[in-house]
Amino acid sequence: MCSEYPLLDKQVDLEDSTQTLYEELLKDSLHYFRFIQETLLIALDNSGKPVEVATDKNNPKVYAMISATRVFSVAKTSMDQTLRGYPVVALAMSRFLSELVQSCQYLVRHPGLIDGYFSDQLKLDRILKMAREEGNGPEVFGQFWGLQSRYSHASPDFLSLGLQFDENRMSSSLVIFNPELVRDVAYAILGALFIQYLIYRLVTKGDLEVEEELSERDEFIFDPENVRTFLGFSDLSDDFLEDVDSWIVQGGET
């Protein structure tokens, strides 16, 4: 029986084949991405036991938990779209991820500002500006910021990517075949998820029932070689990686 929408079915087949291609291209980083996803789910579920949260103001645990759930859902959705051949759409979503993670890492280090952010008295733009000026947060995805910005608006870059010309003829592809772009977008998404998981672990360390299970998984996630290889940051500083190892794996102070 023929489908009522044969062209849509053909497009879905193209997306499926594209996803197969890109999953093979990014298989190592995708394994790392999904491992972090699963680990974050373990942390958020906490064996079905809610994390104890005090009712005091400017509580970073509340903000870190809410942010972690949003980062998880947006990272998953944007990665899915990237693999199916829509990296330009995912670039705009990864820009949102960058903003969310950058503001989160700043606010959990300056918890006195959290309620001002929630009440909209302290605007996001101001938080991001302060975070950039301070320059102390774990900002491993900064190199993607300009690329993300170009494709977060209805700019010529956003509109023209994927166009093909042959003399006076033009075609515009729905699915984009650009392995380098897909790899860059995937790294941006993965970097945001990595940082958000780090933030959540720092803020809730010692409060989770699954601490031992998470510590075992952290040894893989925060292994310096894995971070450099799977995140695509071969030049990531030793100081940052040593801090991560101290904070998480060795139980150091935040």
pLDDT recorded at residue 139: 47
pLDDT recorded at residue 3: 74
Other Cβ atoms closer than 10 A to 166: 7
pLDDT recorded at residue 164: 73
Dist CA 82 CA 175 (whole Å):
10
Contact 121/112 with Cβ under 8 angstroms? no
**Dmax of the chain from CA atoms?**
66
What is the CA angle 199-42-140, rounded to 5? 30
Buried b (16+ CB within 10 A) or exposed e, 17-40: ebbeebeeebeebbebbeebbebb
DSSP code for 205 = T
Blockwise average pLDDT, block size 10, the chain, 254 residues: 81 94 95 97 94 82 93 96 92 86 91 93 91 65 59 67 75 84 90 92 90 93 88 67 58 47
Dist CA 102 CA 125 (whole Å):
11
pTM of the model as a whole: 0.86
pLDDT recorded at residue 146: 59
Q: Identify the three-state secondary structure at position 160.
A: helix
- The helix (run of H) or strand (run of E) holding residue 253 is none
Dist CA 169 CA 88 (whole Å):
23
For residue 142, give both structure tokens: 């900064």
pLDDT recorded at residue 157: 66
pLDDT recorded at residue 148: 66
pLDDT recorded at residue 117: 93
